[in-house]
Amino acid sequence: MDGKLAVIGLGSIGSMALWQASRLTDSVVGFEAQSPGHARSAVGGDTRLFRMIYRGLPDYYPILQRSRDLWAELEAETGQDILIRCGGLSIGTADGPYIRNLLETTRTNRAAHEILNRDAMAERYPQHNLRADDCAVYDPNAGALRTDRAVTAAVAAAQANGATVLSNTPVSSIRETDDGVVVTSGENSWTFERVIVSSGGWSQRLMPDYLKAHTETRRIFLSWFVARDAAQFTPDRFPIFSRIYEGRSMYGAPSVDGVTVKATLDGRGAPTPAADSVPRDLTDFEIAETTETVQEFFPGLIPNIVRSDAFPDLYTGDRNPLLGWLSESSKIYCATGFSGGGFKNATGYGHIAAYEVLGKQSLGGLEFVRPDRFETSWTNPSASTATAI
């Protein structure tokens, strides 16, 4: 036996699972196909949004609370500034479905928030060009996460706790045996008691058929613009934002380099055949829609994209993650399928995965993320054919 636990993929979630597992055992090994925090993974793009208010299932709120505490613990443990605590804005039509649904979830969760009408927004955050019927919901606990810094800090903390990291070691297969799980990379193999699969857009090839049928790798693109007056877009003056109305949607973060501002179309992830071949350049249509939206939303940004990139992530059919054992008797634990929204909860998801795999108590109420929710709705094509004959 080569260890109690292997973590395959040290990106957004895997790095945090490795860090959390290293607090419980020094018999943990992390496998990374390239290097932790590499720019081609879903970690790329400098920042991700952290928000405590959102629209959707209230079940996510305990994970957000745990994640917020663990981001602070990671900063304290490593001495790194990871979460830029700048607040956040959710902007939309005052009586529209986006704001209505967001407030419903926010009030259910009793999350701290403040409603700002158009006049209040114009006074406090004049960078936003709002319509007459717009309003915003302010989240005082929101901020921007420094992605590469977060991942490298978590991996370094895990190594300091005794974890082993194998960089440039792509895993080609995993196989359960009576003794454990055999992990293979090229001509080398290792055996572990348990394995966490957390390789994001690259996870599908390590999944059983029933999960492959309910997941797909999608391409997410990001874009940046130069500010006419960079001082207006610093973290102390420009919170993270998400703005949705009718066919328009955009999210972004304050400037972290003193020059450019991230402003990116929301909900534009498109299926891609393979994580290794994601087109990095934006299409003419993506460029046109992005610049047109920026021109409408932000007069203070020059409407020319100065930087863009694209990254893969694994999406599930219901857009909820895959977090749990592949089956009741399996030794393989899935921590993937975060559908473009996993980074804010990366510490929480990593904690859940590490603690559950190592037999410790974590959060409850996680049925909505369990992989077996898809197993009952999957029909084996070959079995169906055999029955028909």
Express each pLDDT in 249-277 by its tens digit: 999 999 999 999 999 999 888 899 888 88
Count the Cβ atoms, other than its own, within 10 Å of residue 257.
10
Please report where in the chains the tokens 């079940």 appear, as a residue.
59
pLDDT category of residue 380 using cuts at 50, 70 and 90:
low
pLDDT category of residue 388 using cuts at 50, 70 and 90:
very low
Q: What is the pLDDT of residue 382?
A: 45
Q: Which residues lie across from 245 on neighbouring strands?
A: 248
Look over the chain and give the mean of its residue pLDDT values, rounded to a whole number: 93
Instruction: Render 236-303 in DSSP notation, one character per residue.
Output: TT--EEEEEETTEEEEEE--SSSSEEEEEESS--EE-S-GGG---SPPHHHHHHHHHHHHHH-TTEEE
Q: Per residue in 63-121, pLDDT tens?
A: 999 999 999 999 999 999 999 999 999 999 999 999 999 999 999 999 999 999 999 99
- Among 10-24, 38-52, 325-339, name the one with the lowest average pLDDT: 38-52
The CA-based dihedral angle spanning residues 100, 131, 116, 145, taken in that order and rounded to the nearest 10 degrees = 80
For the residues 223-252, what does the mean pLDDT come to?
96
User: How would you write 51-115 as a 3-class SS string?
Assistant: CCCCCCCHHHHHHHHHHHHHHHHHHHHHCCCCEECCCEEEEEECCCHHHHHHHHHHHHHCCCCEE
In 3D space, the residue among 299, 161, 138 whose CA is nearest the CA of residue 233 turns out to be 299
* Residue 43 confidence (pLDDT) above 90: no
Distance CA 224, CA 222 (A): 7
Q: Per residue in 141-178, pLDDT tens?
A: 999 999 999 999 999 999 999 999 999 999 999 999 99
Q: Per residue in 210-222, pLDDT tens?
A: 999 999 999 999 9
- Give Cβ neighbours of residue 275 (< 8 Å, ≥ 6 apart): 200, 201, 202, 217, 312
Q: What is the pLDDT of residue 383?
A: 39
DSSP code of residue 378: -
In 3D space, the residue among 60, 82, 13, 43 whose CA is nearest the CA of residue 349 turns out to be 13
- Among 120-124, 290-294, 296-300, 385-389, name the one with the lowest average pLDDT: 385-389
For the residues 17-31, what does the mean pLDDT come to?
97
The dihedrals phi and psi of 194, each to the nearest 5 degrees, come to -140, 160
